Structure 1
């Protein structure tokens, strides 16, 4: 990869960050800028982009519970949304064709259906990136969105088999053996340890899964996803995901840049892509309506619907097939690439304020909820709790154990990860399932007896949001939090958090003080 690509990506990434926009938008702009400057996308860039997507799907698999995909709110919403969207979109194209809209007046119903199908998908790359940046991958709405994306990937594989006419090899049946090889793959992960061998093993498994599925005629990305799912229950799954996080983010920059190399558009193409982008609110309305009809809470439906309201890079594959078959003009590939870029930017911008907008609209949104809730959406009360530890990662778990050793049942914990909650309950922990950023949660639980809440969360944005929500519900107790850096600590103190523990600095101080006690004891 040429140094100029890295330079332009850095300049645009830092530039949009200074404007308080997500870096993702800068990387998209960098691709168009490089194209405008005369650079050409080469095999290296495409390889980097492909590796980024493969690693991303592998890490999704590491966090995915297969049973979640069988839930009605996931598979039924994905199929229903696609069906309704195609029907509505084809009707709109037909109307635009009647009034003589540019590019729309020459599209037949069959081609319009394929175009609608291409735009019915949501972007896995965009959704995962946005959810990870906001620390919401394991929340109720985050898991719902990921589940819908996986179902869309399954539909994409079926579509490609039908359209290309390329059936998987008979050897594809042998992939079933991977289930029985799971202990052997897990053993390899154990042998990798905790150093540089761990991410290397992750690369081997992700890319190996891709190549294995490709060899038998199945979409390679699906192989990376499935191999990750096989390891999702492994004790080192979370550690492996974290080890691959920075690698995945770096490679994905290549993907965002590559979109800008599709071609340079003219004004007419930009206007058509903007018209298509104006239909994104319709995508949100359909998701929101389906989710609420399937008994999901208004907040879950609202947030999941927002993050899924974009167009997918898979749409470019569908349109490219249509162009090759002579069903669409080559200009449509450019138009769709622009629509995908616009949708990425809109999702990144809108979702930054999704929690605040929900708080403002919650009284209206709740009117669409059904009275009969799903069992997992019913809130549980922290009985007799005086201290609540939010976030049961390593820091939160340590704080909970230390406090409960002194105060016993007066200490409760809360976490948004269902699997972690189940595991901690089996270990005897007083813990409730809940997303602390959920304003509905604080509205529905009795926090009058809680004297102290500890926010053991990694994201300063999450902590700031929770702090504001606790103020909104008139929480009277104290609030403590952790921070990784001194500037973050100061921001939280300025926002009204009563005490902020600098994780790196004060952990070292505590370690030194505990060690000095050993010397005193000997004396």
Structure 2
């Protein structure tokens, strides 16, 4: 039974988490940082409202399990194979170099070899939660720097699995039998991962099919919780981390048909546990170090961000990508991540790392994570100041004559391919601008006039001759980005007609006001097409149908 003091302190933890999340949200600081700060404030080193954080260590254990389960759900094997260049090329080199540099620095700092390995692994990884959320909010997931960043994060998730296997072994084995213990642990980890993946592929779909027939959200949520905890228990019973079982479970459920329902049903429960987990981590941080070693902490934070940005950006550039997405990806991934915090917590529990050293590294990691949204949101401005214009425009040279009256087609997706087919049949000169190098290579093999670049960058559009083009068809994910680009085009005295493709009709009036000539909201046009087809099939009055279509267009439905 929960005693009165424990209940009071649990209430304090929940209230502090809520207040901190509300305040930090207004400052556009990630909720992860808010929870960590809340824990540090109410913990023993500041207000001492919760004097014995270890009494709530079970919350941290459950939090680690569900943190890794959430990361596993986001892990995608098809996406991993599709982004194999950034994943295995940049990702592997980045993790190796960062761990080598950070591990060597920590070892010369005076920590043990095992502690240096843990610190290196924690700092080499970036924040999947912050990066994916910010890129989604900005509508930049499918940009060059978005795809490159996601690719590197996928490899980091793979390395996270290995670290989950290695760290408990480092804490439980002596130097003499370490090699054999690591080999045995890796073998057990691979066998258990294969077993869990097999169960997820052939058994769990049948289980969820039966659960879904009940049409009960409570049973669905409970089933997921039991499955996650059983997987965590299996890996723990084998002498490995519980988080490993949770991550593999998330991976296998992430590929099934019930993934989105699982995410939806468990989100509230998962977010509460994750919030409590980060609060408990914050309570274990010795904040007196922040005052005692403030200059050193600031230096290490800036060094962490600078080194990771240079390493990641440089590696991406070596793969042949333009300088701008390379530099932006470096800034996006320059912070530490939530998994690093979990790894440090696990290391402390196994006695691999003293709490004072772990607190110092955690403070550095949290500060880097707090700066991350700013770097992601304003990275293009930072990059523009760093790089010369010639480097920003270092894309493939477009294949066209400046005297041609081209139609510029932004993107070679479904709409782009249809427009190109029309222009080819009508023998209208065109040039496609595509930001996926693999799509560019495949299209060129088919004889398509296509160049690599981002059609939303004014420098690329100018290089491709937008000033003399007949028409420019540009695609955007958000109304804000479209407005910004159109304003730049019109402020440069470019009068070329602009046809803008957007997901929906939100903000059409604003786009027209800043200079868009034609608008193509895909959702609206798809709706109107359905209405038109229904009218034809039922032989309805064409005049009334046209009137309804006009109303739908004006309403943006």
TM-score by length of 2: 0.65
Q: How does 1:499-510 map to 2 (within 5 A)?
A: none
C-alpha RMSD over aligned residues: 5.6
Q: Which residue of 2 aligns with 1:262?
A: 284
Q: Distance in 2 between matches of 1:325 and 1:181?
A: 30
- For residue 343 of structure 1, report the CA deviation from its aligned partner: 0.9
Q: How does 1:181-196 map to 2 (within 5 A)?
A: 184=202
Gaps of 5+ in 1: 94-105, 370-376
Per-residue CA distance 1:298-341 (angstroms, 9 max, x = gap): 22321221122122344445655765677754322322222221
The structure-2 alpha-carbon separation of the partners of 1:321 and 1:434, relative to structure 1 and needing over 3 Å to count, comes to same
Matched, 1:173 2:184: no
Gaps of 5+ in 2: 1-6, 174-180, 545-557
- For residue 355 of structure 1, report the CA deviation from its aligned partner: 1.7
Q: Distance in 2 between matches of 1:345 and 1:449?
A: 44
Q: Which residue of 2 aligns with 1:59?
A: 74
- For residue 478 of structure 1, report the CA deviation from its aligned partner: 0.9
Q: Distance in 1 between matches of 2:100 and 2:195?
A: 34
SS of the aligned residue for 1:65 comes to helix
Q: Distance in 1 between matches of 2:317 and 2:30?
A: 29
* Residues 119 and 315, structure 1, Cα contact 8 Å, conserved in 2: yes
Matched pairs, number: 494
The structure-2 alpha-carbon separation of the partners of 1:108 and 1:5, relative to structure 1 and needing over 3 Å to count, comes to closer
Q: How does 1:463-482 map to 2 (within 5 A)?
A: 463-464=482-483, 466-467=485-486, 476-482=496-502
Alignment partner of 2:62 out of 47, 53, 56: 47
Q: Distance in 1 between matches of 2:14 and 2:509?
A: 33
- For residue 346 of structure 1, report the CA deviation from its aligned partner: 1.1
- For residue 354 of structure 1, report the CA deviation from its aligned partner: 0.6
The structure-2 alpha-carbon separation of the partners of 1:509 and 1:324, relative to structure 1 and needing over 3 Å to count, comes to closer
* Residues 484 and 503, structure 1, Cα contact 8 Å, conserved in 2: yes
The structure-2 alpha-carbon separation of the partners of 1:288 and 1:8, relative to structure 1 and needing over 3 Å to count, comes to same
Q: Distance in 1 between matches of 2:241 and 2:251?
A: 16
SS of the aligned residue for 1:453 comes to strand
Matched, 1:284 2:309: yes
Matched, 1:38 2:49: yes
Instruction: Name whichever of 184-193 and 215-224 sits farther off.
Output: 184-193
- For residue 261 of structure 1, report the CA deviation from its aligned partner: 2.8
* Residues 165 and 244, structure 2, Cα contact 8 Å, conserved in 1: no
TM-score by length of 1: 0.69
Q: Distance in 2 between matches of 1:385 and 1:318?
A: 55
The structure-2 alpha-carbon separation of the partners of 1:88 and 1:463, relative to structure 1 and needing over 3 Å to count, comes to farther
- For residue 268 of structure 1, report the CA deviation from its aligned partner: 1.4
Q: Which residue of 1 aligns with 2:335?
A: 310
Matched, 1:207 2:228: yes
* Residues 436 and 466, structure 1, Cα contact 8 Å, conserved in 2: no
Alignment partner of 1:145 out of 142, 152, 155: 152
The structure-2 alpha-carbon separation of the partners of 1:22 and 1:204, relative to structure 1 and needing over 3 Å to count, comes to closer
Q: Which residue of 2 aligns with 1:131?
A: 135
Q: Distance in 1 between matches of 2:499 and 2:364?
A: 44
Alignment partner of 1:331 out of 348, 356, 361: 356
SS of the aligned residue for 1:261 comes to helix
The structure-2 alpha-carbon separation of the partners of 1:340 and 1:489, relative to structure 1 and needing over 3 Å to count, comes to farther
Q: Distance in 2 between matches of 1:202 and 1:420?
A: 42
* Residues 22 and 349, structure 1, Cα contact 8 Å, conserved in 2: no
Per-residue CA distance 1:429-450 (angstroms, 9 max, x = gap): 9998765556775466455536
- For residue 351 of structure 1, report the CA deviation from its aligned partner: 1.5
Matched, 1:73 2:90: yes
Q: Which has the higher Rg, Structure 1 or Structure 2?
A: 2
* Residues 388 and 412, structure 1, Cα contact 8 Å, conserved in 2: yes
- For residue 451 of structure 1, report the CA deviation from its aligned partner: 1.3
Matched, 1:274 2:285: no
